[in-house]
Structure 1
Amino acid sequence: MTTQVAVRHSTFAVAVYELLNPIPFGFFTAALIFDIIYVCNADVLWTKSASWLIAIGLVIAIIPRVVNLVQIFGSKTWPQTSSVKIYFWLNLVAVVVAIVNAFVHSRDAYAVVPEGLILSIIVVALLGIANILLAVCPRLK
């Protein structure tokens, strides 16, 4: 007779992950909106605000990515479906592109367009695809 053992994940880690995970997506989306506004009216305020939003989004994105890394590759009990792994890799690629975007936004305001806008679109698209994929695909085996 075999018994099923209920495995508990770290409640604190899951709570921190679920609390902080959506915040960078909001910051990066706001930066995209600010980049679009900057393209329309060429006021330097919008691109400087977008650069701050990207920087803050990257700082906040560190903790959920580390927790997700430990959940995916450090735990044998966490669901190891392909959708969870693809979600992790899409988020990681989005963070790397956002780092490049932060460097682009650190330039003069007039030198940000069009690279900054294109990179912001790519970051938001990657995060959006990752969230849709995770919502549509089942998490459990």
Structure 2
Amino acid sequence: MTSQVIPRRSSLAVAVYALLNPLPVGFFVAAWIFDIIYLFSTEVTWTRAASWLIVIGLIIAIIPRIINLIQVWSGVSYPQGSPIKIHFWAWLVAIVLTIFNAFIHTRDAWGVVPTGVILSTLVVILMLFANVQLAVRDRAVREL
């Protein structure tokens, strides 16, 4: 008979993670929308606003990732291909792309256009993939 180890998590860490985790998605989606608006309007304000949203989203995104890093990788071993690990890695790649995107957005407005929009699109796709796969696979496990 095998026993399943249930990880003990800090209530404060779980609360902070649940509070801050969805916020960066909103900031990055708004930055992506502002980049798309800039493509069609060429008003510099949209690109400046997008760069601020990216930086604020990055600052907020780091705290839940540190909590997730501690919870996922310390003590309890999750199986390879676990939705929690996939979620972690997808978010990590998205944050690295967002750091590059923040540097792209420091250029002048015309220099942002092709690369900034592509990076913003990739970040939004990665974050949505991470959240959807975690929700779908977690629900499938609970139904068993």
Q: State the 1:9 CA deviation.
A: 1.4
Change in 2 beyond 3 A, CA 1:14/1:104? same
In the TM superposition, 1:6-17 aligns within 5 A as 8-17=8-17
Q: Name the CA shift for 1:14/1:44 in 2 (closer, same or farther; >3 Å).
A: same
Instruction: Report the Cα offset of residue 14 of structure 1.
Output: 0.3
1:25 alignment counterpart = 25
Residue 122 in 1 paired to residue 119 in 2? no
Identity among equivalent pairs (%): 57
Residue of structure 1 in register with 2:38 after alignment? 38
Hey, what's the Cα distance between the residues in 2 that align with 1:50 and 1:100?
14
SS of the equivalent of 2:107 reads coil
Gap runs ≥5 in structure 1: none
User: Closer, same or farther in 2 for the Cα pair 1:85/1:109, shift >3 Å?
Assistant: same
Unpaired runs of 5+ residues, structure 2, are none
Find the aligned partners of 2:98 and 2:54 in 1 and give their Cα distance.
Answer: 7
Residues 11-51 of structure 1, C-alpha deviations (whole Å, 9 max, x = no match): 00000000000000000000000001000100000000000
How much does 1:138 deviate?
2.3
Provide Cα deviations, 1:81-135, integer angstroms capped at 9, x if missing partner.
Answer: 5111000000000000000000000000111011000000000000000001001
Give the Cα–Cα distance (whole angstroms) in 2 for the partners of residues 4 and 105 of structure 1.
47
Residues 53-62 or 7-16, more deviating: 7-16
In structure 2, the partner of 1:49 is 49
Query: How far is 1:75 from its partner?
Result: 3.1
User: What corresponds to 2:78 in structure 1?
Assistant: 80
Alignment of 1:72-111 (within 5 A): 72-76=72-76, 80-81=78-79, 82-111=82-111
**Counterpart code for 2:73:** F
Tell me the distance in 2 between the aligned counterparts of 1:106 and 1:70.
32
Distance 1:89 1:6, change over 3 A: closer
User: Aligned in 2, Cα 1:136/1:7: closer, same or farther, shift over 3 Å?
Assistant: closer
The one-letter code matched in structure 2 to 1:37 is I
Count of aligned pairs: 137
TM-aligned CA deviation for residue 5 of structure 1: 8.5
RMSD (CA atoms): 2.1
Consecutive aligned runs of 4 or more in structure 1 exceeding 3 Å deviation: 3-8
